Structure 1
């Protein structure tokens, strides 16, 4: 693993390369592809224009709230969760896993993961393909485009979590702030989050 600390540009932002190996990646992709995807007209969250899976609890993008408790995170994520906690990347064991699929031409608009719902650390693992993630300060407009290599984990805490929005373009070729280019392909991300509150259902 190689860690790049971007805190001198955006406080709280780090990138850990080779967080998983190729065999782990293949097993995780096989596991999610064997499960039910939603989005693209399929419930829950049928309004999404990309395919997703959620574990731990069900978050509604339309209503911006948690709708249902889904139980513990799946077995195929256990080794990753153990690694997260061993490296002290989150203050508490993550209880929400969001799996996003991005095919060529798909991205995500600038957003900050629901500050009132999810905890102080957002971690996202990039599988199958690299991409460039843009960070934009909500007040100053300061931006930084960083390359998220295949198999890497990006960790957002502090300012990068709360004061910046992050996004992924729909471009077929991405360019990072350092000039690195990447040709996009199918990318599957595993985003690990916690929560501040105990929800009543």
Structure 2
């Protein structure tokens, strides 16, 4: 593994290359492909335009709250969770795993994971394909593009977690600032979070980004 502290650009942003091996990547993908997917008309989140799986807890995108506790995360993810905790990347062991499948032409709108629902660290593991993730400050508009290589883990804490929206474009081909060209292909991401509440209080901003309704639909 190679840990890259991107805190000079955005405090709290870390990227870890080769967080899992090629063999582990293949095993993780095989495990989720053996399990039922949600989205694209299939419950429990049939309205989503991409396929997803959730473990630990069920989060409703439609109602923007946690609906059910499933129990412990599945054993197939134990080695990854143990690695997360051994490197002290989260203050507590994750109790929610969100698996997203992004096919060519699929992305996700800029958003901040709901501060009222999810804990202080958001981690996302990229499998099968690289992508470009854009981070944009919710107030100042300052933005940077970060390449998320295949098998890398991105860690959002502090400023990166609470003040920057993050999103992925729908572009089939992406070009980074350094000239790196990314040909988008199927990508599966594993997002690890700690559920700290089941519902956003009425007075709270659901996504934490103080923006429009479209952003609030993007709670990930």
Whether contact under 8 Å (1:122, 1:192) holds in the other structure is: yes
Q: For the residues of structure 1 that align with 2:67 and 2:19, how far apart are their CA atoms? A: 31
Matched, 1:115 2:119: no
Counterparts of 1:35-74 in structure 2 under 5 Å? 35-74=35-74
Instruction: Look up the match of 1:134.
Output: 134
- Provide, for residues 127-165 of structure 1, a one-character-per-residue CA deviation record: whole Å limited to 9, x for no partner: 000000000100000111100000000000001100000
The two structures have a TM-score, normalised by structure 1, of 0.97
Contact preservation (8 Å) 1:135, 1:143: yes
Contact 1:144–1:177, Cα closer than 8 Å, also in 2: no
- Equivalence for 2:153: 153
Q: 3-state SS of the aligned residue for 1:84?
A: helix
Give the CA deviation at 1:195: 2.4
Of the structure 1 ranges 153-162 and 177-186, higher mean CA displacement relative to structure 2 is found in: 177-186
The alignment yields a C-alpha RMSD, in angstroms, of 1.1
In structure 1, the residue matched to 2:192 is 192
Q: Contact conserved, 1:107 with 1:167, CA < 8 A, in 2?
A: yes
Identify if the C-alpha distance between structure 1 residues 24 and 168 changes in structure 2 by more than 3 Å, giving closer, same or farther: same
Q: Secondary structure at the match of 2:27?
A: helix
Answer with 178-187 or 40-49: which moved more. Answer: 178-187
Distance 2:99 2:140 in 1: 31
Offset, 1:76:
1.1
CA distance in 2, matches of 1:29, 1:57: 20
Return the alpha-carbon distance in structure 2 between the equivalents of residues 183 and 26 of structure 1: 20
In structure 2, C-alpha distance between the alignment counterparts of 1:180 and 1:164, rounded to whole Å = 23
- Runs (4+) off by over 3 Å: none
| SS state at 2:14 partner | strand
Distance 1:102 1:20 in 2: 19
Q: Is the 8 A contact 2:54 2:96 kept in 1?
A: yes
Cα pair 1:5 1:14 within 8 Å, conserved: yes
Are 2:67 and 2:198, in contact at CA under 8 Å, matched by a contact in 1?
A: no
Aligned length: 199
